[in-house]
Amino acid sequence: MLLSPADRQLLVDQALALIEYLYVHLPLKRAMHAVDPLQRLRLLRHRSASLSEPAFHAEMVSIFTRLRDLHTNYILPEPLRTRTAFLPFRLEEFFEGQERRYIVTEVKPGTEDTWFRRGVLVTHWNGIPIDRAVELNADREAGSNLDARHARGLAAMTLRWLALSLPPDEEWVVVTYRSRGRVRERRFDWQVFESGLSLGRTDPLAATGDFAFVLGVDAKTEMERQARKLLFAPEAVEMVRQVQQQTDPLLGGGSDAPAPVDFTTVSKLPDVFSFRTIKTPSGTFGYVRIHTFYVPDDSAFVEEFVRIAALLPSNGLILDVRGNGGGNILAGERLLQVLTPQPIDPERFYFINSALTRRICDASPSFVEWRESIAQAVETGAPFSHGFPLLPVERYNDVGQKYQGPVVLVIDARCYSTTDIFSAGFQDHGIGKILGTSGATGAGGANVWGHELLLTMFPGADSPFKPLPNKASFRVAVRRCTRVGKRSGVLVEDLGVVPDEIHRMTRRDVLHGNADLINHAGEMLATMPVHAVTAKVRSEGTSKQVDAVTKNISRLDAFLNTRPYRSYDVVDGTTSIDFPLLTGSSNTLELRGFRNEQLAVSTRIQL
């Protein structure tokens, strides 16, 4: 993987072009984190020939890390790009009162011994008190806020995707831990494996096509999530295989086909969703974990969520997006409509104004909305373009509310990008309450493009982008986003979403399936009102009648093909609505329920 001096210069020059002319957060990062990446890159260009291989890559990684932006990365060349370094266990944290404790929660099969096993508390790491060791690691991570850096520092103690992380300096670690009342030590060697991707998943660094233009993802979190599945959850990997065999006509149906998967308990996108009905002291509710938004098909994503939500209790839903590093922005934003009767106002995305962004917008009809304001910037001096949603607004409202019960969203500092945007939309539209296990989400508010994508946009000798050696590459945040509603115009980047309530993870949470966290969410759900309206169509001759069953609403408005039809004062029970003279083969009825003159619930049916 040795890079020649010319290779190094090329890498630095490409980094300079991306940061100076494309990187949308440059002014913010200079202000927020007092950094000067351009000068550091110029100095590196001047000094690169005299640096060792590790020192060159360390400086490149450091320049990008100090931006505190998980979207904008230097990607190390092969063979590091496709390798993950790991220790054979997972370290998590919980709180005992105000004290933070570090505990082993997963162990790679074959690693456990009489003393070192799941549940032991770690006290020191290579002789350093564990809290300090995590802090030192956190400083090497790029998270926007302290909580995010801490969470990433903790994860990096045992797992490092070498595409975006330098290899560990140490070849092994000596872990001091407490087990059965005694303090013990054990040495673990760092091992490296080729970063396999679970069946059907694509490399977040190699996305192509339209999908590649709408990504908002922390690639490191996504890849490390996949790695943890390989290390600690072989059942989950096997389930993905089984579902793929069952749902892919090319793979399924052979003589060795496994038993059919029960899709009333397993998602058809098992790497994306897991769900179940849960009993809490406050009631029985639905629980859905969205592990990732990294899906190429946002419509299939929304459809599958609607399917599994219909299988769960309608009196309340705990929606858990902890550890979700983002993915397809359209999947995140289009999911919001399913949870609320309110029309969704999507976030606005902005380019930085430069000759390069002007060239990008002029070259492609996909960015026509942004052209005018970027062109005007020569005269106006505006630093950013006007903001526009990624899709026409109708696309964020084309499905309508499908889950009518109250919702509590659970977040943490590892939530990033699309998950930030989803959480912000959840809060800005007043969909429900947010419960956080940290003080805010990871705070990544941008759309990210890879260097390979830019190469395809600008082929040819006069392209500002050049092929890079040994599959080294870059990712850069090119469009930043702002919030809507009461927080209209507020950046997501570096600020994130602040939850309504905080839950400090307990020992029971980390060892017994988030039991206390779920109970806390259940308590919140129990205080939230439940409204419902369902509709059934009856045909009588040439006319149709709809029986609307309502709960906890006082007014029902009917809209036929988006036009106001009738309004009813209602109580709990059934209201019949006649449609004597319908024309056309397809008519859409939307029923909107109000409580105290506030829109509370809605449903759509075809007549």
Nearer to other proteins, 23 or 125 (CB): 125
The answer to whether residue 113 forms part of the interface with other proteins (CB under 8 A) is no
Closest approach of Cβ 510 to other proteins, in Å? 21
When asked if residue 81 is in the footprint of other proteins (CB under 8 A), the reply is no
**CB-nearer residue toward other proteins: 256 or 540:** 256
Taking the complex as a whole, the smallest distance from the CB of residue 251 to other proteins amounts, in Å, to 18
Element (H, E) at 266: none
Q: What angle do CA 159, 164, 166 make, to 5 degrees?
A: 70
- Give bridge partners of residue 290 from the DSSP assignment: 273
Q: Which of 539, 502, 543, 544 is nearest to 524 (CA)?
A: 502
Residue with tokens 């959840």: 426
Q: How far is the CB of 11 from other proteins (least distance, A)?
A: 16
By CB under 8 A, residue 237 contacts other proteins: yes
Q: Which is nearer to other proteins, 7 or 398 (CB)?
A: 7
- 2 contributes a contact to other proteins by CB under 8 A: yes
525/152 Cα distance (integer angstroms): 30
* Least distance to other proteins, CB of residue 471, Å: 13
Nearer to other proteins, 53 or 572 (CB): 53
Put the strands of the sheet holding 283-290 in their side by side order. 273-280, 283-290, 317-320, 407-411, 433-436, 501-502
> Given the complex with other proteins, which of 142 and 230 has the nearer CB atom?
230
Q: Using CB under 8 A, which of 190, 263, 458, 568 touches other proteins?
A: 190
Whole-number Å distance between alpha carbons of 49 and 94 = 46
314 SS3 class: coil
258 binds other proteins (CB under 8 A): no
Q: Is 167 in the site for other proteins (CB under 8 A)?
A: yes
Closest approach of Cβ 233 to other proteins, in Å? 9
Alpha helices in 415-534 (DSSP H): 418-428, 451-457, 507-511, 515-526
The interface region with other proteins, picked from 163-171, 205-213, 362-370, 596-604 by CB under 8 A, is: 163-171
109 touches other proteins by CB under 8 A? yes
Residue 129, interface with other proteins (CB under 8 A)? no
Interaction between residue 80 and other proteins (CB under 8 A): yes
- The only residue of 5, 27, 234, 260 in contact with other proteins, by rule CB under 8 A: 234
Stretch that binds other proteins, among 108-116, 117-125, 435-443, 450-458 (CB under 8 A): 108-116
> Do residues 450 and 208 touch, judged by C-beta distance below 8 A?
no
With CB under 8 A as the contact rule, the residue among 66, 100, 108, 371 that binds other proteins is 108
CA distance 486 to 502: 22
Pattern 43-72, other proteins, x by CB under 8 A? ----------xx------------------
Looking at the Cβ atoms of 22 and 243, the one nearer to other proteins is 243
What would the two tokens of residue 256 be?
A: 């060795």
* Pairwise CA distance, residues 8 & 44, whole Å: 9
- Considering only residues 402 through 461, tell me which ones interact with other proteins, judged by CB under 8 A: none
286 φ, ψ (degrees, to nearest 5) = -90, 150
Determine the Cα–Cα distance for residues 339 and 321; give it in Å rounded to an integer.
Answer: 15
Binding characters for other proteins, 214-233, by CB under 8 A (x = yes): ----------------xxx-
Write phi, then psi, for 116 (nearest 5 degrees): -90, 110
Binding of other proteins at residue 188 (CB under 8 A)?
no
Residue recorded with tokens 């106006």:
380
The residue with tokens 């029960």 is 262
Looking at the Cβ atoms of 146 and 240, the one nearer to other proteins is 240
Task: Of 65, 132, 33, 138, give the one whose Cα is nearest residue 438.
Answer: 138
Binding residues with other proteins: total (CB under 8 A): 28
Task: Specify whether the backbone of 75 is left (phi greater than 0), alpha (psi in -120 to 50) or beta.
Answer: beta
Give the shortest CB-127-to-other proteins separation in angstroms.
Answer: 19
Give Cβ neighbours of residue 137 (< 8 Å, ≥ 6 apart): 153, 154, 156, 157
| Binding positions for other proteins, rule: CB under 8 A | 1-2, 53-54, 79-80, 83, 85-86, 108-110, 167-168, 171, 189-194, 196, 230-232, 234, 237-238
